[in-house]
C-alpha cells in the first residue's frame, strides 16, 4: 500500500509510538515511497464485525499487540480529522488502520531484535538525543507547546529517543552509516541547484492605482500624478520611504513601499524588468502594470551565489547519514518480516478491500506492505 507522504506525516504527528529519528537534515523535497512486499503468516479466524472485535490486533513471534494501543492511535487521528467538521471516509480509515498496524508490527520486531542482541543506548546518549531534539524548538516554551499539541510527555519522548538511539547503534554495528568524502561530494554535485541562490533584489515602490475600467481621461490623470511624484522622488533631499508612506496607494505604503528581497518570477513582468534593470539607489520613471503606475527604487542586490562544498559539507554529511540510516533500517525490517511469525488478528472489515485479483490474492495471503521513505521529514522527528 502506498500513501501520500503528507498523510504519513499527519499520522506520525498523532502517533504516541516512536518513529525513526535521524540527524536533522536540511529542508528537502519528499521522494516517492518504495514498497517492499514481505510474506507474513495467515491470521487466525476473527469476527467480521468491528463491534464484535475485542483482543489483540496482531501477534509478532507470539507477542501480542493490544487493541488499546492500536485504537488509541487511530482514534487520535480520527478526532483530529473530525475536529475539522469533516467525516473520515471509510476507505481512508481502512488505509490508516493498516498503516498503524504495520507500524506497530515493525516497532515490535525492532524491539525484539534489540532485546535479542542486548543493545541499548546509555543514559548519556539518551540525554544527548533529548537535548538535540529540544534544540529544534529553540525555546522551552515552544517545546512544551509541541508536547501539549501532540498530547505527549517528556517520558514518552525519552523512551522513543532511547529506542531510536539503540536502533542506530545496532545498524552501525552492521555497517558504518557515516558517509565518505566521496559520497558527500557526489551528493553535492548531484544536487547543486539546492546549494545555488539565484540573483535577488530588494526594492521599494510607490503605486498609483488605475482602475481597469478607467477611461482615457482617468488614465491620463493617473500618469500625470505618477510623473509628479517621480520628480519629487528623485530630488536629493527626498526620503523615498516617507514619500511612499504619503503618496503610495498600495498595501506596502505603511512600510515605506518596502517589498523586501525577491527573485525573478515573483512580480509581474513589467515591474520585474524595470526593477532588475536598476542600479543600487536608482529610481525608475513610472512603470505601467495591470495594477497601475509604479515608481521603483532599488535598495540592494544579491548576486547569484553557489555555496561552496566545504560550507555545505556538515549538513550534507548529516543528510546522507540519515539516508543511510533509513536504507539500513528498511533492509533490516524486510529481513525481520520475512523471518517472523506474524498473525494479523484485526478483522478484514477494518482493513482496505482488495482492488483487483492480484491485490486480493495478496490480501488472502496476508502480504504485508512496508512503506519506506527516503527524505520524508516525518521520518526524522520521533513523535512522543
Residues 364 and 234 in one domain: no
Residues 79 and 102 in one domain: yes
User: What residues contact 105, with CB distance under 8 A and at least 6 apart?
Assistant: 58, 60, 65, 337, 342, 368
Higher pLDDT, 176 or 342: 342
Residue 224: per-residue pLDDT: 96
Render pLDDT for 62-87 as a digit per residue (tens, 0 to 9).
Answer: 999 999 999 888 888 787 777 666 77
User: For the domain that residue 74 is a member of, what is the CATH number?
Assistant: 1.10.4030.10
Number of domains in the chain: 2
Q: Of 213-217, 328-332, 356-360, which one has max mean pLDDT?
A: 328-332
Residues 38 and 142 in one domain: yes
Q: What predicted TM-score, i.e. pTM, was given to this entire model?
A: 0.60
Q: Which of 258, 273, 303 is the last residue of a domain?
A: 303
Render pLDDT for 239-278 as a digit per residue (tens, 0 to 9).
Answer: 999 999 999 999 999 999 999 999 999 999 999 999 999 9
User: What is the average pLDDT across 360-369?
Assistant: 42
Residues 12 and 112 in one domain: yes
Residues 76 and 96 in one domain: yes
Q: Which of 285, 303, 321 is the last residue of a domain?
A: 303
Residue 369 has pLDDT above 70, yes or no: no
Residues 229 and 365 in one domain: no
Q: Which of 248, 277, 303 is the last residue of a domain?
A: 303
DSSP output for 56-108: -SEEETTEEE-HHHHHHHHHHHHHHHHTTT-PPPHHHHHHHHHHHHHHHHHHH
Residue 176: per-residue pLDDT: 87
Residues 136 and 216 in one domain: no
- What is the domain range of residue 204? 199-303
Residues 295 and 348 in one domain: no
Residues 317 and 280 in one domain: no
Residues 205 and 126 in one domain: no
Residue 52: per-residue pLDDT: 53
User: For the domain that residue 268 is a member of, what is the CATH number?
Assistant: 3.10.50.40
Residues 25 and 125 in one domain: yes
Residues 31 and 114 in one domain: yes
User: What residues contact 314, with CB distance under 8 A and at least 6 apart?
Assistant: none
Amino acid at each position: 500500500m502506498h500513501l501520500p507522504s503528507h498523510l504519513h506525516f499527519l499520522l506520525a504527528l498523532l502517533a504516541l509510538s516512536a518513529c525513526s529519528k535521524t540527524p536533522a537534515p536540511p529542508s528537502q523535497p519528499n521522494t516517492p515511497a518504495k514498497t517492499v512486499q514481505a510474506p507474513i503468516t495467515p491470521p487466525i479466524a476473527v469476527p467480521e464485525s468491528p463491534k464484535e472485535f475485542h483482543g489483540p490486533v496482531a501477534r509478532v513471534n507470539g507477542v501480542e499487540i493490544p487493541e488499546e494501543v492500536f485504537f488509541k492511535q487511530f482514534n487520535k487521528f480520527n478526532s483530529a480529522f473530525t475536529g475539522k467538521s469533516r467525516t473520515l471516509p471509510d476507505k481512508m480509515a481502512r488505509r490508516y488502520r493498516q498503516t498503524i498496524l504495520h507500524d506497530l508490527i515493525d516497532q515490535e520486531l525492532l524491539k525484539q531484535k534489540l532485546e535479542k542482541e542486548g543493545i541499548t543506548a546509555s543514559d548519556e546518549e539518551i540525554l544527548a538525543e533529548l537535548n538535540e531534539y529540544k534544540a529544534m524548538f529553540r525555546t522551552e516554551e515552544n517545546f512544551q507547546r509541541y508536547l501539549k499539541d501532540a498530547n505527549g510527555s517528556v517520558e514518552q519522548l525519552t523512551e522513543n529517543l532511547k529506542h531510536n538511539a539503540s536502533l542506530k547503534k545496532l545498524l552501525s554495528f552492521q555497517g558504518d552509516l557515516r558517509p565518505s568524502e566521496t559520497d558527500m561530494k557526489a551528493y553535492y554535485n548531484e544536487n547543486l541547484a539546492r546549494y545555488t541562490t539565484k540573483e535577488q533584489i530588494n526594492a521599494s515602490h510607490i503605486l498609483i492605482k488605475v482602475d481597469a475600467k478607467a477611461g482615457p481621461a482617468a488614465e491620463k490623470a493617473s500618469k500625470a500624478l505618477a510623473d509628479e511624484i517621480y520628480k519629487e522622488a528623485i530630488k536629493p533631499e527626498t526620503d523615498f520611504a516617507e514619500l511612499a508612506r504619503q503618496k503610495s496607494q498600495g498595501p506596502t505604503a505603511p512600510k515605506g513601499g518596502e517589498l523586501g528581497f525577491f527573485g525573478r518570477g515573483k512580480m509581474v513582468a513589467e515591474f520585474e524588468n524595470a526593477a532588475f534593470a536598476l542600479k543600487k539607489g536608482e529610481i525608475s520613471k513610472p512603470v505601467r502594470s495591470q495594477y497601475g503606475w509604479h515608481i521603483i527604487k532599488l535598495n540592494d542586490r544579491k548576486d547569484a551565489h553557489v555555496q561552496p562544498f566545504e560550507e555545505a559539507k556538515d549538513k550534507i554529511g548529516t543528510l546522507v547519514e540519515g539516508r543511510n540510516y533509513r536504507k539500513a533500517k528498511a533492509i533490516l525490517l524486510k529481513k525481520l518480516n520475512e523471518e517472523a511469525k506474524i498473525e494479523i488478528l484485526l478483522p478484514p472489515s477494518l482493513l482496505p478491500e482488495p482492488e483487483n485479483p492480484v491485490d486480493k490474492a495478496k490480501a488472502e495471503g496476508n502480504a504485508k506492505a512496508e512503506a519506506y521513505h527516503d527524505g520524508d521529514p516525518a521520518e526524522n522527528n520521533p513523535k512522543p
